């Protein structure tokens, strides 16, 4: 295998993506989904950054290109070949499922349905082993994207605890990535410009004299609810589970090329295993004690708006503010009254049992989300439905100051 040629052809194929209308269609879809997330943030907080969804889309596109390079190299190493027939059915079905639920913007569900239809009904005409390998590699890239960027842009929420029904704080994670990848396609004869493959290559499908690399774009979506951990910690756990899922599915795809009965196992494991990853994450959250609940003393902090007065004072998510302006505070109303005074004042907060003192300079929007207090209602259902948007952002406008 001439890896220098592989790198060269991979970059050349990825460079063709800006000219592909499908790529921009996926980017537009990702932008629309981020627009919806920013709408939720605005209704919950009363503010949003102008054009924030465009920045999220731009960063997700850059991360997607990085994940696409990794996925492309794994595809070539595993010998994953694509056919136009599979993609012709895969994309429309994935988009249709996404309209049911945004988290279905994932090829595992669409590919599983197509594979079962092929195995049981004989339609459509596609290679199930290759399709399962494609899904496995895409989820391998997705797991890496979740690890490095899944926690960014987390939206603080109030939900009812699955354990006792009490209102607790948490974070909703909603991330979407356009993922451009390149995959092998068999060339007729020994055409120039292709990759000369060893006799035992690829691992999947029939051997051929030469292969070319064709660009393909996929859309990846990740949604989660964090109650018992920090968003970064939760995404690390989800990375581990999804990475293992992708390795198992890839192994089933490779082995099924030699043992046809495993095609049925792979077709079922693609959607059900993915659901298992989601169920495991939810179970871990419900089994652990909620992290963002009202402390015995002081005011618990769920989130802080970057650049706000509390942010500049050093307060971060998970801290507990115990004093402001020389007065002890034990509720959101007391804290709001204390920081509403004119002029700078001292605030006291602790993090990991270590107390800190900082100077607070008042501003038009202090920018603090507190943990739920008695009387607060949830505005995010554990099933994903939103209602009654009521969060504790401290703003002069809302409090009449």
The single residue listed with the structure tokens 């594979």 is 115
Same-domain check for residues 248 and 340? no
**Which among 235, 253, 287 is the end of a domain?**
287
Q: Give the end of a domain, one of 287, 316, 333.
A: 287
Q: What is the DSSP string of 341-387?
A: SSS-EEEEEEETTEEEEEEE---S---EEEPP-TT----B-TTS-B-
> In total, how many domains does the chain have?
2
Q: Give yes or no for a contact between 299 and 328, defined as CB atoms under 8 angstroms apart.
A: no
Do 260 and 334 fall within a single domain? no
Note whether 125 and 160 are same-domain residues: yes
Antiparallel, parallel or unpaired: β 299-304 and 320-324: antiparallel
Residue 347 and residue 246 in one domain: no
Q: Which structural domain range is residue 125 located in?
A: 3-287
Does residue 45 sit in the same domain as residue 182? yes
Q: Same domain, yes or no, for 215 and 162? A: yes
**Cα separation of 58 and 176, whole Å?**
11
Element (H, E) at 173: strand 167-186
Tell me the three state secondary structure of residue 389.
coil
The answer to whether position 308 is within a domain reads yes
Q: How many angstroms separate the CA atoms of 397 and 365, rounded?
A: 8
Residue 62 lies in a domain: yes
Q: What is the pLDDT along the chain (401 residues), one digit of tens a residue?
A: 567 777 787 888 888 888 889 899 999 999 999 998 888 777 766 666 677 899 999 999 999 999 999 999 888 878 787 776 677 898 889 889 888 876 676 789 999 999 999 999 999 989 899 899 989 999 999 999 999 999 998 989 999 987 788 999 999 999 999 999 987 877 765 444 566 655 555 555 555 556 778 888 888 888 889 999 999 999 999 999 999 999 999 999 989 878 999 999 999 999 999 999 988 988 888 888 999 999 999 999 999 988 889 999 999 999 999 999 999 999 999 998 999 887 899 999 999 989 999 999 988 778 889 999 999 988 776 544 333 333 444 433 333 22
Looking at residue 339, which CATH number applies to its domain?
2.30.42.10
Tokens of residue 343, six digits: 């002029």
The sign of the torsion formed by the CA atoms of 22, 106, 151, 163 equals positive
- 202 and 154, same domain (yes or no): yes
Same-domain check for residues 329 and 184: no
The CA–CA distances, whole Å, from 21 to 124, 217, 274 equal 25, 10, 29
Determine contact, residues 246/136, Cβ cutoff 8 Å. yes
Strand partners for 386: 380
Taking the C-alpha atoms of residue 193 and residue 234, their distance in angstroms, rounded to an integer, is 45
Position 327 in a domain:
yes
Q: How far is 7 from 108, CA to CA, in rounded Å?
A: 27
Residue from 28, 26, 201, 223 nearest 142 by CA: 223
Do 265 and 323 have their domain in common? no
127 and 71 in a common domain: yes
Tell whether 312 and 283 lie within a shared domain. no
* Residues forming beta bridges with residue 204, ordered by sequence position: none
- Looking at 258, 287, 316, the residue that finishes a domain is 287
Determine if the pTM surpasses 0.85: yes
Asked if the structure places residue 292 within a domain, the reply is: no
The verdict on 270 and 355 lying in the same domain is no
- 226, 279, 333, 270: which is closest to 138 by C-alpha? 270
Angle of CA points 179, 181, 183, to nearest 5°: 150
């Amino acid at each position: 295998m001439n890896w220098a040629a592989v790198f060269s052809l991979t970059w050349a194929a990825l460079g063709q993506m800006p000219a592909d209308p499908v790529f921009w269609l996926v980017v537009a879809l990702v932008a629309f989904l981020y627009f919806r997330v920013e709408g939720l943030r605005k209704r919950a907080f009363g503010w949003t950054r102008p054009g924030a969804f465009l920045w999220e889309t731009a960063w997700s596109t850059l991360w997607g290109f990085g994940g696409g390079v990794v996925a492309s190299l794994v595809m070539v190493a595993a010998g994953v070949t694509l056919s136009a027939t599979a993609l012709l059915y895969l994309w429309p079905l994935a988009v249709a499922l996404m309209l049911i639920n945004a988290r279905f913007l994932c090829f595992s569900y669409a590919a599983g349905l197509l594979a079962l239809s092929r195995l049981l009904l004989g339609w459509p005409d596609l290679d199930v082993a290759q399709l399962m390998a494609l899904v496995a590699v895409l989820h391998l890239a997705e797991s890496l994207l979740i690890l490095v960027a899944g926690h960014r842009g987390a939206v603080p929420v109030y939900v009812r605890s699955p354990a006792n029904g009490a209102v607790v704080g948490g974070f909703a994670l909603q991330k979407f990535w356009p993922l451009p990848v390149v995959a092998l396609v068999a060339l007729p004869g020994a055409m120039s410009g292709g990759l000369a493959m060893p006799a035992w290559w690829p691992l999947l499908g029939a051997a051929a004299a030469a292969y070319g690399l064709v660009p393909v774009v996929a859309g990846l979506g990740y949604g989660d609810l964090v109650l018992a951990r920090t968003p970064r910690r939760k995404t690390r756990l989800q990375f581990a589970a999804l990475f293992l899922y992708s390795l198992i599915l890839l192994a089933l795809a490779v082995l099924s090329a030699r043992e046809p009965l495993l095609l049925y196992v792979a077709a079922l494991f693609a959607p059900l295993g993915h659901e298992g990853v989601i169920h495991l994450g939810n179970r871990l959250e419900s089994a652990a004690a909620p992290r963002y609940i009202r402390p015995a003393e002081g005011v618990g902090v769920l989130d802080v708006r970057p650049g706000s007065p509390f942010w500049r004072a050093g307060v971060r998510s998970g801290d507990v503010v115990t004093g402001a302006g020389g007065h002890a505070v034990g509720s959101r109303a007391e804290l709001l009254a204390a920081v509403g005074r004119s002029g700078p004042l001292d605030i006291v907060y602790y993090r990991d049992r270590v107390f800190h003192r900082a100077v607070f300079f008042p501003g038009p929007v202090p920018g603090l989300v507190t943990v739920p207090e008695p009387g607060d209602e949830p505005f995010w259902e554990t099933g994903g439905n939103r209602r009654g948007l009521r969060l504790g952002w401290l703003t002069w406008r809302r409090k009449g100051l």
